[in-house]
Every structure is written in structure tokens, then in C-alpha cells.
Amino acid sequence: MSRFEPADAEAARLDARLLDFIAHAPAGFTGSGPTLALRYGVDDAEFGRLQQQFEALALALYEYQIERVPPYRAFAAARPVPHCAGQIPALPVDAFKRARIAAFPPAAGGLEFHTSGTTAGQSGVLHLDNPLLYDAALERGFRHHVLPDRDRMRMLILVGSRDEMPHSSLAYMIDRVCSRWGATGSAVFVRDGAIDWRALGEALRGAERDGEPVCLLGTAFAWVHVLEHCAREKFRVRLPAGSRLMETGGYKGRSRELSRDELYAGFAVSLGLAPTHIVSEYGMTELGSQYYTTGLRAAVLQEPLAAEWSYPAWLRPRVMDSESGAMQDLDIFEGLGLLAHHDLANRGSVAHVLTADLATVRAGRFELAGRSLRAGARGCGLVYEDAPGTP
């Protein structure tokens, strides 16, 4: 077996079905209507077909994963047999820090992505025997939300390279999209964990001088330091029309935190970027798909603004009610709970994951509301209470 092949024939058959769905299903929202159908820009009949496909694939993926992922099998054994996607158990994300959550043996090789945070000195790990699903999901989502109007752009990157961060899912993602859509002059400006200020300043000045729009990619943590540096050095540019910026990753307690409004105001002052051309991305190492904001699409394609997180049709958020502990679909729940993600791109691990992220749900939409202080302990307890003897 090569390093990047499905683990077995059943995995290959599932991958073919999943890749077909990812290739043809909507990659994100195109409108702001009250239903998912309208937000995806399809009629009710087409959305019904999408829903049927999601259900069938989710149940097939569940059967595949409980057979091949021992910790998940033990976790699911204490719960009712699911008859629809919404009933499929969501594995607490802490399980990825406590056990190997993979549907293939270690000898199969593949990729590993490690979380940057730790619990008791352990990082979570996503195992991939075949990156095709991961690549297809991230490429369609990124193109839909960040490059809806451009084929190639010069990309200025504030994320360490894959050479420096071989187990970073974000470094992998940025390397992938830059290889696919990065124009001449694209470059990474973080080396050995530090920003190369001189090279970054020259690249920004060069873009302003050349009149060529650029795509800036980095973490919120990095952008806070960029804005502080710009203010301290009185550095300002006016990037050409069509330039855009993606911020992701949060602060992780390592930097002075700015509100989104403060961050966007700083981009306008120092870089000449309008808030409409800033995209926020929300993802997790343990997932193969991402969420994005839609202001850029609305601005450049004249679409109705969907003022909430946009996600592809192969990814469904759900929420665990903070009071009852029941898992709920967003369209039938209002209030605060723990966010779960049902991601069909996660064939090689577990598709339904319960996070430590709190979300407030209103009218079928969610807003991130911080992290649960008890989520890690509670998630770990759920897994190991039901799965004694799991490594």
C-alpha cells in the first residue's frame, strides 16, 4: 500500500461516494434566507435530495467507523442504535487527546495533524490514511468563500511553512491553497516562529506600488502583532482594490485580544482593507471541513449577506443543550450549548465530533460564545466512563 491509499476496499468505496458528494454539493451559503435551502441557493426539491444523500452517507460512515475505531465503538455501545444522522453519537473532542481515533492501523501510514493546545501534556491527533477527502473539502470551501471572483492571487502568508510545522493542519491547508491558486510573488513571512517584518513590509509596499491585489492569510494572533507593529512603526499602506484577508485560529491566550470590530478597524487603518474584504475562518484540527463568514462573497458577487457562519452541505453543525444534554439540530433549538460538527470529510477518524466550543443558537444560526471550562473533563468522562480499558 502506498502512503496515501484508502485502508481497505470498503474505505475506497466510501471515499468514491463521499468525493462525488463533496464535488457536487454546495460548498457554502450564497444567500441569507430563513432555511438552509435558501442559504445554499437551491429549491426545496434539490435540498431534499441533498438531505437524503447526507443521511445515507452519514449512516454508512457510522457503520464503517464503529467497526474500525475501538474507542468510538465502545462509546457508541452505551447509546441507542441511530436511525438518522442526528442520532449518531458525537464523540467528545478530548478523545482525540486520549486515544488513537483512526479507522485504519498505524502501519497504513498516512498523515497526522496535531492540535496546538494540550490536555495533561497531550495534543489531539487527526489521522488520515488518504488525504483526498480532506483536500477536496478544504479546496472547495476556500475557493467558495475566499476566492469566489479570482483564479489566482499573490498570497502573503503569516503561518509557518509545512517544513517548520509538518503536523499543523493550518500549515497544510495554506500550503495546499497557495500551491493551487497562489500567483508569482506568494511567500511565507513567518520563520522560526517569528514574523519577518522587513520582508513583509516590502511585500505590502510592493503590492501597493504594483497595483496588484493580494490575499493575506494568517491567524488572529499574528494579525494582532502585525497591527501593533504597524501602529508602533507608523506603517500604513493602501492595498489595491480586490485585496482580501483571511483570519483564523483565535488567540489561545498568547496575545492581547481584540474584538472583531477593533481588528477590522485596524486592518482599515494600516492596510486600507474594508471590512467587506475580510474573511473569518473557523475550523479544528480534528475536522476536515471549515466554516467561513460570507461578507466577501456578498461584496464581490453582489449576493445577499448571510451574516452567520457558512458551511458546506457535507458539514452540519449541531448543539448539545447545556441543560438537558440532548443533541439538537439548529433549526429546532434556541439557546446555549456545546457545538458539535458532523463532517462527512472525516472518513478516516470519526465524522461526528462534540467540541468544547459554546454556541448561542437563534433562528437556525449559531454564534460562537467562548469555550466551556468544564468541557474537557466532561468529554473525557463520557468517553472513558463508557469505554473502560480503552488505551
pLDDT digits (tens, 9 = 90+) for 104-134: 988 767 888 998 754 445 678 899 988 999 9
For residues 155-164, give the mean pLDDT: 94
| Whether the Cβ atoms of residue 285 and residue 248 lie closer than 8 Å to each other | no
Strand partners, 191: 194
Per the structure block, which three cell numbers stand in for 218? 494568517
Domain 133-301 coded CATH 3.40.50.980: yes
**What pLDDT, on a 0 to 100 scale, did the predictor assign at position 259?**
78
pLDDT digits (tens, 9 = 90+) for 330-380: 888 888 999 999 999 999 999 999 999 999 998 888 988 887 765 443 332
| Whether the Cβ atoms of residue 181 and residue 147 lie closer than 8 Å to each other | yes
| Whether the Cβ atoms of residue 215 and residue 155 lie closer than 8 Å to each other | yes
CA distances (Å), origin 66, targets 62, 256, 284, 371: 6, 43, 22, 28
**What pLDDT, on a 0 to 100 scale, did the predictor assign at position 278?**
95
- Helix and strand totals (H; E) in the chain: 12, 16
Q: What's the mean pLDDT when you consider all of the chain?
A: 88
d(C-alpha 228, C-alpha 234), whole Å: 10
**What pLDDT, on a 0 to 100 scale, did the predictor assign at position 33?**
87
| Whether the Cβ atoms of residue 360 and residue 336 lie closer than 8 Å to each other | yes
d(C-alpha 233, C-alpha 236), whole Å: 9
For residues 81-94, give the mean pLDDT: 95
Is the pLDDT reported for residue 160 higher than 70? yes
Out of 1-10, 35-44, 76-85, 258-267, which region has the weakest mean confidence (pLDDT)?
1-10
CA distances (Å), origin 343, targets 80, 116, 346, 349, 350: 21, 21, 6, 10, 8
**In the chain, where the domains are located:** 9-101+313-386, 133-301
**What pLDDT, on a 0 to 100 scale, did the predictor assign at position 207?**
97
